[in-house]
Structure 1
Amino acid sequence: MFQERIKSGESGVLLYGITPPKVGTTPERVAEIAQKTVERLATLHIDALVVYDVQDESARTSEERPFPFLNALDPLAFASGYLSSLNVPKIIYRPAGKFPAEELDSWLEELHERGFYPVFVGIPAPDFPVKTSLAEAYALWRKHEDSSVIGAVTIPERHHVLQDEDKRILDKMVAGVSFFVSQCVFNIDYARQVVEDLMRSCREQQINPPTVIFTITACGSAKTLQFMEWLGIHVPDALKEELLASADMLEKSVKICLDIAEALTEFCMAQDVPFGFNIESVAIRKAEIEASVYLTNEIDQMLKQKGLRKPVSVVNT
């Protein structure tokens, strides 16, 4: 029902985001990882699975990358080849600018045939040679718009600096985009400002707002926190100190994530903007994976209590 929820502007969308295994992983190990992923996610009440395209963003900043970059398997190949038994729609990320138009068009055709949905993201660095512009990529997708939906990324930190995220969103809506997945949210004020300015622009232009899906990610170590900041995620100083001073950073971050989800839910309901959450699980530590599952279940229950998601019906056999 993911597509229907997006097209109808229904709040309470719940996604779960993963990265594919690394390049060089043996096929047997890839199959094992996929099987564990399917088993874990089969118990969750999610509307779709996000499979990220992992890019090397080292050229974006002069700061040293906390973790070494390792190429990952192609997200479409992983989702179609190993996750087909998971009966939820798949959302596949792709940097449109890295591919020529013909290749991108074929990729969109395969996505559509499989019932998957695209999210186009930007290039890894400003000086990266662009083979297909975002405008051209969206134009290629338009042939599928009657029977599909397409997403894009929104970055609250960028809006804090440039104050133009609402315009970027509206421009992409004109191109056909109907849902926006945020960068991981730890600064709730930044996220609120994007929504406020977006809603103001939508009212001025008398158009319905798109669905805004906030990414929520637990943080289990000081090095993970450092990596999040390297990626451009803003963690307020007070919250950072709270995490670093906690006896169990993972447990503390889960509580903070749930508080953020609750606050954003109240805020978006008051603003009357369709919204949802994407629970990200990109760590390899078992405790952090389990924390992502716990977060998904808790946020699912919270949204149900608000009347934004329906309880899972049990069919007696």
Structure 2
Amino acid sequence: MFLQKIKSRESGVVLYGITPPKADTTADRVAEIAHKTIERLSSLDIDALVVYDVQDESARTKEERPFPFLNALDPLVFASEFLGALNVPKIIYRPAGKFSPDELSDWLEQLHDQSFYPVFVGVPAPDFPVKTSLPEAYQIWRKHEATSAIGAVTIPERHKVLQDEDVRILDKMECGVSYFISQCVFDLEYARQVIEDLAQRCERQQVSPPTIIFTLTACGSEKTLQFMEWLGIHVPDALKDDFRKSEDILDKSVNVCLDIASALTSLCIERAIPFGFNIESVAIRKAEIEASVYMARQISEMLKEKGVRKPSAPELVRDQQ
């Protein structure tokens, strides 16, 4: 259904994003983590699971990283060898520039064999030696175009500075990209401006807009808030103050995310932009993981109530009984 929804530009897509376990995790522990992940997500109404490629971005900034970087398992290995029992499509991130064209071609074949879908991202730092450019990577993917969909990343913070995210999106559409997953959104106005400018540019150029999937994540602590900012996620000053004054920063952040989801839903419907949400769970604290599951359920229900997400088959059966 994910592929069909993307190709038909259907709104109301719901994804759930995770990172693989750390690279030094024992095989038994990886299997245990995978089992808990499958158990937790099997009851969720999601269209696909996003598995991120964890990169060391320390060279991108001079600011000290709030958490030490630890290598993670390859996302394709984790998804294919440990998450097969979770019966939803998998979306796998890959920094295309770190690999040669032959390596990327082989990797895409592995994805295609399992009906997984790629998202190509940039390299960890501007001076990183690039083996394959993004346009070259998209061209390698083209052989799978009829039976696949390829995604890319959109960054509202970049648009605030460079004012060209709408141009970047349409350029990548020319390369075959049909959906874009955003960086985590905590500044509604930044995301709103991307949508407004994209809608206007698509109207001027008489092209159908791609699907924009907004990433939302719960923030459970002051340290997590610092890490988000280190990653380049803009949190408005007033919201940071609210978080710091809150008796329960996690509960406050969940409510903020749900409000953002509702506002972006109304905006995208108004501007005729196909859209969805990616609820991200990259923390290890149980409370934050449970908060992400709650958000996924709430957002899925909100989209159904607004008429942009169809009920799943089991729900239709219940409604007819």
TM over 0.5: yes
| 1:230-262 deviation line (CA, Å, top 9, x unaligned) | 000000001110011000000010011100000
Percent of aligned positions that are identical:
73
Equivalent residue, structure 2, for 1:260? 260
The count of residues paired between Structure 1 and Structure 2 equals 316
Matched, 1:39 2:33: no
Matched, 1:232 2:232: yes
Equivalent residue, structure 1, for 2:215? 215
Task: Give the Cα separation in 1 of the matches to 2:144 and 2:194.
Answer: 29
Equivalent residue, structure 1, for 2:295? 295
Unaligned runs of 5+ in 1: none
Q: Which amino acid aligns with 1:169?
A: I
The offset of 1:217, in angstroms, is: 0.4
Task: Give the Cα separation in 2 of the matches to 1:35 and 1:246.
Answer: 34
Equivalent residue, structure 1, for 2:118? 118
Task: Give the Cα separation in 2 of the matches to 1:66 and 1:128.
Answer: 22
| 1:22-58 deviation line (CA, Å, top 9, x unaligned) | 0110000000000000000001000000000000000
The offset of 1:200, in angstroms, is: 1.0
Aligned counterparts, 1:194-213, within 5 A: 194-213=194-213
Aligned counterparts, 1:176-195, within 5 A: 176-195=176-195
Equivalent residue, structure 1, for 2:95? 95
Task: Give the Cα separation in 1 of the matches to 2:272 and 2:142.
Answer: 28
Unaligned runs of 5+ in 2: none
> What SS is found at the alignment partner of 1:93?
strand
The offset of 1:92, in angstroms, is: 0.1
Task: Give the Cα separation in 1 of the matches to 2:106 and 2:152.
Answer: 19
Equivalent residue, structure 1, for 2:146? 146
The offset of 1:312, in angstroms, is: 2.4
| 1:265-316 deviation line (CA, Å, top 9, x unaligned) | 0111101100000000000000000000000000000000011112223359
> What SS is found at the alignment partner of 1:23?
coil
Equivalent residue, structure 1, for 2:67? 67
Q: Which amino acid aligns with 1:226?
A: Q
The CA RMSD measured in Å over matched residues stands at 0.7
> What SS is found at the alignment partner of 1:178?
strand
The offset of 1:204, in angstroms, is: 1.0
Task: Give the Cα separation in 1 of the matches to 2:20 and 2:239.
Answer: 30
Equivalent residue, structure 1, for 2:15? 15
Equivalent residue, structure 1, for 2:157? 157
Matched, 1:309 2:316: no
Task: Give the Cα separation in 2 of the matches to 1:312 and 1:135.
Answer: 36
Equivalent residue, structure 2, for 1:107? 107
Equivalent residue, structure 1, for 2:277? 277
Equivalent residue, structure 2, for 1:250? 250
| 1:86-108 deviation line (CA, Å, top 9, x unaligned) | 00000000000000110100000
Task: Give the Cα separation in 1 of the matches to 2:263 and 2:251.
Answer: 19
Matched, 1:172 2:185: no
> What SS is found at the alignment partner of 2:177?
coil
Task: Give the Cα separation in 2 of the matches to 1:209 and 1:154.
Answer: 14
The offset of 1:229, in angstroms, is: 0.2
Q: Which amino acid aligns with 2:160?
A: H
Task: Give the Cα separation in 2 of the matches to 1:114 and 1:312.
Answer: 23
> What SS is found at the alignment partner of 1:124?
coil
Task: Give the Cα separation in 1 of the matches to 2:111 and 2:90.
Answer: 9
